Amino acid sequence: MLNVINISKSFGDLEVLKGLSVNVESAELFVILGPSGGGKTTFLNIVAGLLRPESGEIYIAGRLVENSRDIYTPPERRNIGYVFQSYALYPHMTAYDNIAFPLKMARWSKKDIDKAVKEVAEMLNIRDVLHKKPAQLSGGQRQRVAIARAIVKRPTLLLMDEPFSNIDPVLRENVRVEIKRLLKDLGITTLMVTHDREEAYSLADRLSVLIDGRFAQIGRPDEVYSAPCCVEVARFLGYNLVSADGSSLGFRAEDVEIGGGDLSGEVLSSEYKGRYWVVYIKYNGYVIKAYHDAPIKEGAKVKFSIRRVLEMR
Protein backbone atom coordinates (compact mmCIF):
# COMPACT_ATOMS: atom_id res chain seq x y z
CA MET A 1 0.00 0.00 0.00
CA LEU A 2 2.95 2.31 0.71
CA ASN A 3 6.33 1.90 -0.95
CA VAL A 4 9.07 4.37 0.03
CA ILE A 5 12.40 4.14 -1.78
CA ASN A 6 15.63 5.89 -0.73
CA ILE A 7 14.12 9.06 0.77
CA SER A 8 16.63 11.68 1.91
CA LYS A 9 15.99 15.10 3.41
CA SER A 10 18.23 17.90 4.67
CA PHE A 11 17.63 21.25 6.32
CA GLY A 12 20.62 23.37 5.47
CA ASP A 13 23.71 21.39 6.41
CA LEU A 14 21.75 19.02 8.65
CA GLU A 15 20.93 15.72 6.96
CA VAL A 16 17.81 14.53 8.78
CA LEU A 17 16.82 11.49 6.69
CA LYS A 18 19.47 9.36 5.02
CA GLY A 19 18.09 7.10 2.31
CA LEU A 20 15.02 5.61 4.01
CA SER A 21 13.20 2.72 2.34
CA VAL A 22 10.19 0.79 3.62
CA ASN A 23 7.11 -1.09 2.40
CA VAL A 24 3.84 -1.00 4.34
CA GLU A 25 1.31 -3.69 3.49
CA SER A 26 -2.43 -3.21 3.01
CA ALA A 27 -4.32 -2.94 6.35
CA GLU A 28 -1.03 -3.05 8.28
CA LEU A 29 -0.40 -0.85 11.29
CA PHE A 30 3.25 0.14 10.87
CA VAL A 31 5.00 2.17 13.56
CA ILE A 32 8.18 4.22 13.27
CA LEU A 33 9.85 4.34 16.68
CA GLY A 34 12.67 6.69 17.52
CA PRO A 35 13.91 9.46 19.81
CA SER A 36 12.32 12.91 19.79
CA GLY A 37 13.83 15.17 17.16
CA GLY A 38 15.04 12.22 15.11
CA GLY A 39 13.14 12.97 11.89
CA LYS A 40 9.96 10.94 12.39
CA THR A 41 7.57 13.82 11.71
CA THR A 42 9.68 14.95 8.77
CA PHE A 43 9.27 11.48 7.24
CA LEU A 44 5.48 11.59 7.76
CA ASN A 45 5.28 15.03 6.19
CA ILE A 46 7.17 13.83 3.13
CA VAL A 47 4.82 10.85 2.74
CA ALA A 48 1.89 13.28 3.11
CA GLY A 49 3.30 15.66 0.51
CA LEU A 50 3.75 18.53 2.96
CA LEU A 51 7.52 18.43 2.41
CA ARG A 52 9.56 17.35 -0.59
CA PRO A 53 12.68 15.17 -0.28
CA GLU A 54 16.03 15.74 -1.94
CA SER A 55 15.96 12.22 -3.35
CA GLY A 56 13.76 9.15 -3.47
CA GLU A 57 10.38 7.89 -4.64
CA ILE A 58 7.02 7.30 -2.94
CA TYR A 59 4.26 5.05 -4.21
CA ILE A 60 0.80 4.96 -2.60
CA ALA A 61 -1.45 2.09 -3.67
CA GLY A 62 0.88 1.48 -6.61
CA ARG A 63 0.78 5.08 -7.87
CA LEU A 64 3.95 7.18 -8.01
CA VAL A 65 3.21 10.36 -6.04
CA GLU A 66 6.76 11.67 -5.53
CA ASN A 67 10.09 11.18 -7.28
CA SER A 68 11.89 14.29 -5.90
CA ARG A 69 12.24 15.69 -9.43
CA ASP A 70 9.38 16.16 -11.88
CA ILE A 71 6.57 14.19 -10.23
CA TYR A 72 4.78 15.62 -7.21
CA THR A 73 1.22 14.90 -6.11
CA PRO A 74 -0.10 17.46 -3.58
CA PRO A 75 -1.51 16.25 -0.24
CA GLU A 76 -5.16 16.69 -1.20
CA ARG A 77 -4.73 14.29 -4.13
CA ARG A 78 -2.95 11.51 -2.21
CA ASN A 79 -6.12 10.26 -0.46
CA ILE A 80 -4.50 10.22 2.94
CA GLY A 81 -5.74 11.06 6.42
CA TYR A 82 -3.41 12.80 8.88
CA VAL A 83 -3.76 12.93 12.67
CA PHE A 84 -1.37 15.61 13.92
CA GLN A 85 0.22 15.52 17.36
CA SER A 86 -1.62 18.71 18.31
CA TYR A 87 -4.81 17.37 16.62
CA ALA A 88 -5.01 20.66 14.63
CA LEU A 89 -8.76 21.01 15.10
CA TYR A 90 -10.42 24.25 14.01
CA PRO A 91 -11.28 25.97 17.32
CA HIS A 92 -14.23 27.96 15.93
CA MET A 93 -15.92 24.84 14.50
CA THR A 94 -17.97 22.22 16.30
CA ALA A 95 -16.77 18.63 16.38
CA TYR A 96 -19.34 17.87 13.67
CA ASP A 97 -18.00 20.58 11.37
CA ASN A 98 -14.38 19.57 12.02
CA ILE A 99 -15.15 16.01 10.95
CA ALA A 100 -17.23 17.16 7.99
CA PHE A 101 -14.61 19.62 6.72
CA PRO A 102 -12.71 17.30 4.32
CA LEU A 103 -15.99 16.04 2.89
CA LYS A 104 -17.18 19.61 2.25
CA MET A 105 -13.90 20.33 0.50
CA ALA A 106 -14.51 17.25 -1.64
CA ARG A 107 -18.01 18.64 -2.46
CA TRP A 108 -19.99 15.77 -0.97
CA SER A 109 -23.75 16.30 -0.68
CA LYS A 110 -25.15 17.42 2.70
CA LYS A 111 -27.00 14.13 3.04
CA ASP A 112 -23.87 12.03 2.43
CA ILE A 113 -21.80 14.24 4.73
CA ASP A 114 -24.32 13.89 7.54
CA LYS A 115 -24.46 10.12 7.16
CA ALA A 116 -20.65 9.73 7.07
CA VAL A 117 -20.04 12.03 10.04
CA LYS A 118 -22.61 10.30 12.23
CA GLU A 119 -21.35 6.84 11.27
CA VAL A 120 -17.73 7.59 12.17
CA ALA A 121 -18.80 9.44 15.33
CA GLU A 122 -20.73 6.34 16.40
CA MET A 123 -17.66 4.17 15.80
CA LEU A 124 -15.54 6.44 17.98
CA ASN A 125 -18.19 7.00 20.66
CA ILE A 126 -18.33 10.79 20.21
CA ARG A 127 -21.82 11.21 18.75
CA ASP A 128 -23.02 12.97 21.90
CA VAL A 129 -20.33 15.71 21.64
CA LEU A 130 -20.71 16.59 17.96
CA HIS A 131 -22.31 19.93 18.89
CA LYS A 132 -19.36 20.99 21.07
CA LYS A 133 -16.27 22.99 20.08
CA PRO A 134 -12.74 21.66 20.76
CA ALA A 135 -12.25 23.81 23.88
CA GLN A 136 -15.25 22.07 25.44
CA LEU A 137 -13.87 18.58 24.85
CA SER A 138 -11.51 16.42 26.91
CA GLY A 139 -8.14 15.41 25.47
CA GLY A 140 -9.45 11.96 24.62
CA GLN A 141 -12.52 13.42 22.88
CA ARG A 142 -10.40 15.86 20.87
CA GLN A 143 -8.20 12.97 19.79
CA ARG A 144 -11.23 10.96 18.68
CA VAL A 145 -12.53 13.93 16.70
CA ALA A 146 -9.14 14.28 15.00
CA ILE A 147 -9.13 10.60 14.09
CA ALA A 148 -12.74 10.79 12.89
CA ARG A 149 -11.84 13.70 10.61
CA ALA A 150 -8.87 11.75 9.24
CA ILE A 151 -10.79 8.55 8.47
CA VAL A 152 -14.25 9.87 7.55
CA LYS A 153 -13.48 9.69 3.82
CA ARG A 154 -11.91 6.23 4.15
CA PRO A 155 -8.38 7.20 3.13
CA THR A 156 -6.01 4.86 1.33
CA LEU A 157 -3.41 5.62 4.00
CA LEU A 158 -3.70 7.04 7.52
CA LEU A 159 -0.75 8.92 9.04
CA MET A 160 -0.57 9.51 12.81
CA ASP A 161 2.02 11.67 14.55
CA GLU A 162 2.37 10.83 18.28
CA PRO A 163 -1.45 10.59 18.45
CA PHE A 164 -1.72 9.61 22.13
CA SER A 165 0.87 11.92 23.68
CA ASN A 166 -1.65 14.56 24.82
CA ILE A 167 -4.07 12.15 26.48
CA ASP A 168 -4.21 11.60 30.23
CA PRO A 169 -2.01 8.57 31.04
CA VAL A 170 -4.91 6.96 32.90
CA LEU A 171 -6.96 6.87 29.67
CA ARG A 172 -4.17 6.32 27.18
CA GLU A 173 -4.08 2.52 27.30
CA ASN A 174 -7.84 2.15 26.81
CA VAL A 175 -7.85 4.64 23.93
CA ARG A 176 -4.99 2.79 22.23
CA VAL A 177 -6.92 -0.47 22.40
CA GLU A 178 -10.06 1.13 20.99
CA ILE A 179 -8.28 2.87 18.12
CA LYS A 180 -6.31 -0.23 17.15
CA ARG A 181 -9.50 -2.30 17.06
CA LEU A 182 -11.26 0.34 14.94
CA LEU A 183 -8.42 0.59 12.41
CA LYS A 184 -8.28 -3.19 12.11
CA ASP A 185 -12.05 -3.44 11.70
CA LEU A 186 -11.99 -0.82 8.94
CA GLY A 187 -8.89 -2.30 7.31
CA ILE A 188 -7.15 1.09 7.08
CA THR A 189 -3.44 1.01 6.32
CA THR A 190 -1.75 3.10 9.01
CA LEU A 191 1.70 4.63 9.39
CA MET A 192 2.31 6.02 12.87
CA VAL A 193 5.33 7.59 14.55
CA THR A 194 6.10 7.65 18.27
CA HIS A 195 9.00 7.90 20.73
CA ASP A 196 7.10 5.72 23.24
CA ARG A 197 8.40 2.14 23.22
CA GLU A 198 5.40 0.66 25.05
CA GLU A 199 3.05 2.35 22.61
CA ALA A 200 4.96 0.97 19.64
CA TYR A 201 5.07 -2.57 21.05
CA SER A 202 1.34 -2.62 21.82
CA LEU A 203 0.10 -1.17 18.53
CA ALA A 204 2.45 -2.23 15.75
CA ASP A 205 2.08 -5.16 13.41
CA ARG A 206 5.62 -4.22 12.43
CA LEU A 207 7.87 -1.40 13.51
CA SER A 208 11.05 0.29 12.40
CA VAL A 209 13.56 1.97 14.66
CA LEU A 210 14.73 5.31 13.26
CA ILE A 211 18.20 6.13 14.58
CA ASP A 212 20.44 8.90 13.22
CA GLY A 213 18.34 9.38 10.10
CA ARG A 214 18.28 5.70 9.12
CA PHE A 215 15.95 2.76 9.66
CA ALA A 216 18.30 0.72 11.81
CA GLN A 217 15.93 -2.25 12.11
CA ILE A 218 12.52 -3.33 10.83
CA GLY A 219 10.48 -6.25 12.15
CA ARG A 220 7.71 -7.43 14.42
CA PRO A 221 7.82 -5.75 17.85
CA ASP A 222 8.77 -8.99 19.62
CA GLU A 223 11.53 -9.68 17.10
CA VAL A 224 13.07 -6.23 17.45
CA TYR A 225 12.86 -6.24 21.23
CA SER A 226 14.25 -9.75 21.60
CA ALA A 227 17.07 -9.31 19.10
CA PRO A 228 18.14 -5.70 18.50
CA CYS A 229 20.47 -5.51 15.53
CA CYS A 230 23.04 -3.13 16.99
CA VAL A 231 24.16 -1.17 20.03
CA GLU A 232 22.21 1.95 18.99
CA VAL A 233 18.90 0.10 18.80
CA ALA A 234 19.58 -1.84 22.01
CA ARG A 235 20.38 1.39 23.85
CA PHE A 236 17.17 3.07 22.67
CA LEU A 237 15.13 -0.01 23.65
CA GLY A 238 16.49 0.23 27.20
CA TYR A 239 18.96 -2.66 27.18
CA ASN A 240 21.82 -2.84 29.66
CA LEU A 241 25.10 -2.48 27.74
CA VAL A 242 28.55 -3.45 28.98
CA SER A 243 31.92 -4.08 27.36
CA ALA A 244 33.86 -7.29 27.80
CA ASP A 245 36.91 -8.61 25.93
CA GLY A 246 36.54 -5.94 23.24
CA SER A 247 32.87 -6.75 22.59
CA SER A 248 29.69 -4.94 23.54
CA LEU A 249 27.20 -7.12 25.40
CA GLY A 250 23.52 -6.32 25.79
CA PHE A 251 20.85 -7.78 28.04
CA ARG A 252 17.37 -6.84 29.22
CA ALA A 253 16.44 -5.86 32.77
CA GLU A 254 14.10 -8.86 33.00
CA ASP A 255 17.03 -11.18 32.24
CA VAL A 256 18.92 -10.06 35.35
CA GLU A 257 18.17 -12.42 38.24
CA ILE A 258 19.02 -11.03 41.68
CA GLY A 259 19.91 -13.51 44.43
CA GLY A 260 22.69 -15.90 43.57
CA GLY A 261 25.04 -16.10 40.63
CA ASP A 262 28.66 -15.32 39.90
CA LEU A 263 28.29 -11.53 39.52
CA SER A 264 28.09 -9.03 42.36
CA GLY A 265 27.45 -5.34 42.74
CA GLU A 266 26.19 -2.58 44.98
CA VAL A 267 22.58 -1.38 44.91
CA LEU A 268 22.32 2.31 44.06
CA SER A 269 18.53 2.67 44.31
CA SER A 270 15.16 0.97 43.87
CA GLU A 271 12.14 2.44 42.07
CA TYR A 272 8.59 1.18 42.48
CA LYS A 273 6.77 0.65 39.15
CA GLY A 274 3.53 -0.87 40.43
CA ARG A 275 3.90 -4.48 39.31
CA TYR A 276 7.61 -4.64 40.12
CA TRP A 277 10.63 -2.75 41.38
CA VAL A 278 13.48 -1.50 39.21
CA VAL A 279 16.77 -2.06 41.05
CA TYR A 280 19.87 -0.19 39.87
CA ILE A 281 23.14 -2.02 40.57
CA LYS A 282 26.64 -0.62 40.27
CA TYR A 283 28.82 -3.24 38.58
CA ASN A 284 32.38 -2.70 37.29
CA GLY A 285 31.76 0.96 36.54
CA TYR A 286 28.38 0.30 34.87
CA VAL A 287 24.85 0.83 36.18
CA ILE A 288 22.80 -2.32 35.63
CA LYS A 289 19.01 -2.14 35.61
CA ALA A 290 17.13 -5.18 36.93
CA TYR A 291 13.51 -6.02 37.73
CA HIS A 292 12.72 -7.44 41.17
CA ASP A 293 9.68 -8.26 43.27
CA ALA A 294 10.81 -6.17 46.24
CA PRO A 295 13.00 -3.13 46.98
CA ILE A 296 16.60 -3.58 48.04
CA LYS A 297 18.28 -1.19 50.45
CA GLU A 298 20.65 1.36 48.98
CA GLY A 299 24.27 0.29 49.46
CA ALA A 300 23.44 -3.40 49.85
CA LYS A 301 25.77 -5.91 48.20
CA VAL A 302 23.93 -8.33 45.92
CA LYS A 303 24.74 -11.37 43.83
CA PHE A 304 23.12 -11.66 40.43
CA SER A 305 23.18 -13.64 37.23
CA ILE A 306 22.12 -12.89 33.64
CA ARG A 307 19.96 -15.44 31.86
CA ARG A 308 20.47 -14.19 28.30
CA VAL A 309 23.24 -12.04 26.84
CA LEU A 310 23.54 -10.80 23.25
CA GLU A 311 26.80 -9.79 21.62
CA MET A 312 26.16 -6.42 19.97
CA ARG A 313 27.87 -4.76 17.05
SS3 label, residue 285: coil
Domains 2-226 and 239-312 are alike in CATH topology: no
CA 113 – CA 102 distance, rounded (Å): 10
User: CA-CA distance, 243 to 215, in Å (whole number)?
Assistant: 25
Q: Where are the domains of the chain?
A: 2-226, 239-312
Give the whole-angstrom CA distance, residue 287 versus residue 266.
Answer: 10
C-alpha pair distances (Å), 170 with each of 160, 167, 260, 271, 276: 21, 8, 37, 20, 19
pTM, to two decimals: 0.92
pLDDT given for residue 222 in this prediction:
96
Say if residues 285 and 308 touch (Cβ distance below 8 Å): no
Per-residue pLDDT of the chain (313 residues; tens, 9 = 90+): 999 999 999 999 999 999 999 999 999 999 999 998 899 999 999 999 999 999 999 999 999 999 988 999 999 999 999 998 888 899 999 999 999 999 999 899 999 999 999 999 998 889 999 999 999 998 888 989 999 999 999 999 999 999 888 787 777 888 888 889 999 999 999 999 999 999 999 999 999 999 999 999 999 999 999 999 999 999 999 999 999 888 899 999 999 999 989 999 999 999 999 999 999 999 999 999 999 999 999 999 999 999 999 998 8
The per-residue pLDDT for 174 is 84
Q: Which CATH number fits domain 239-312: 2.60.40.4070, 3.30.70.1290, 2.40.50.140, 2.30.130.30?
A: 2.40.50.140
**2-226 is a CATH 3.40.50.720 domain:** no
Predicted local distance difference test score (pLDDT) of residue 66: 97
